[in-house]
Amino acid sequence: MDSVPLGDFRAFGRFLDGGMFGVGSSSVASLILDGESGELVRAPVKLGKKGGAGAADLRSAMALKSHSEAERRRRERINGHLMTLRRMTPCTDKLDKAGLLAEVINHIKNLKSDAIEISKFCTIPSDTDELRVEVDGEGANNSSFSVKASFCCDDRPELLADLKHTLESLQLKTISAEISSLGGRVKFVFVMTGEGVNNDLERHLFTTSIHQALKSVLDRASCTDFLPNACFSGKRRRISPFESSSSSS
């Protein structure tokens, strides 16, 4: 009977995987501990109901092999992504996996706070939907005044046309418009004027109507039908090895 020293057990598994025994079962179940020598020895093949290596044995051996290979692929995916994180995050060469993840979390937090600081000075879309309408200044003749409206949401193909149509329906004159887009998010900053607005009440109604109109655009933009990840359900999504490797390149 073949015997395998404990220390060489993994090599023995690879030996089996190499196809030496047909359906190479690397299963521990096919090994037994020899009481006398203290070594793992290959167990005799169990006889199936009809004699010889039964079909059930064959199937379970194949399932076991496929299971261990799947687990190996899964670990390779995990480690591949960890390697990608390591490359993307400074000063993580010496860290273990837990340390690496902790450092990545810190790094992301820092990047987010940096982004927030930068967004104070630049028109950068934020992570959260926002809508702000405020009085920007009064016209010279006191019968017109300007309104600054900022508007941030997920980008979608119809958004610009929708916004244009909405603003036109309010009969506003656009003085300036800034549009920025980042990571599927978009931010608009408009400065608009309205004519014939003579008192505080009319101004209030004017800004309110702008706010409501833009709110309706925002609501349409926030509708889940437009979200790129709307196709995700509660199911666990299966990812092919090609998909997973492409993200780490």
Partner DNA sequence: GGAGACATGCTGTGGCCGTG
Partner DNA sequence: CACGGCCACAGCATGTCTCC
Which region, judged by CB under 7 A, interacts with DNA, from 70-78, 127-135, 144-152, 161-169? 70-78
With respect to DNA, which residue has the nearer C-beta, 101 or 182? Answer: 101
| Virtual torsion, Cα 17, 19, 22, 25, nearest 10 deg | -10
Kindly tell me which residue out of 47, 55, 70, 160 binds DNA, with binding defined by CB under 7 A.
70
Which region, judged by CB under 7 A, interacts with DNA, from 26-34, 140-148, 160-168, 211-219? 26-34
> Judged by CB under 7 A, does residue 238 bind DNA?
yes
> Judged by CB under 7 A, does residue 20 bind DNA?
no
Place of tokens 């927030």: 116
- Of 102, 106, 81, the C-alpha closest to 245 is 81
Name beta bridge partners: 131. Answer: 151
> Judged by CB under 7 A, does residue 24 bind DNA?
no
Number of alpha carbons in the 13 Å side-chain half-sphere of residue 41? 12
Q: How far is the CB of 109 from DNA (least distance, A)?
A: 22
Task: Pinpoint the alpha helices (H) of 16-130.
Answer: 55-88, 97-119
x/- site string to DNA, residues 78 to 117, per CB under 7 A? -x----------------xxx-------------------
Kindly tell me which residue out of 3, 52, 55, 67 binds DNA, with binding defined by CB under 7 A.
67
> Judged by CB under 7 A, does residue 68 bind DNA?
yes
Report how far residue 129's alpha carbon sits from residue 115's, in angstroms, rounded to the nearest whole number.
16
> Judged by CB under 7 A, does residue 26 bind DNA?
yes
For 43, the enclosing helix (H) or strand (E) is none
| Amino acid at residue number 96 | D
Report how far residue 88's alpha carbon sits from residue 109's, in angstroms, rounded to the nearest whole number.
14
> Judged by CB under 7 A, does residue 146 bind DNA?
no
- Of 68, 81, 15, the C-alpha closest to 42 is 15
> Judged by CB under 7 A, does residue 49 bind DNA?
no
Binding region for DNA (CB under 7 A): 6-7, 9-10, 13-14, 17, 25-29, 59, 63-68, 70-75, 79, 96-98, 233-236, 238-239
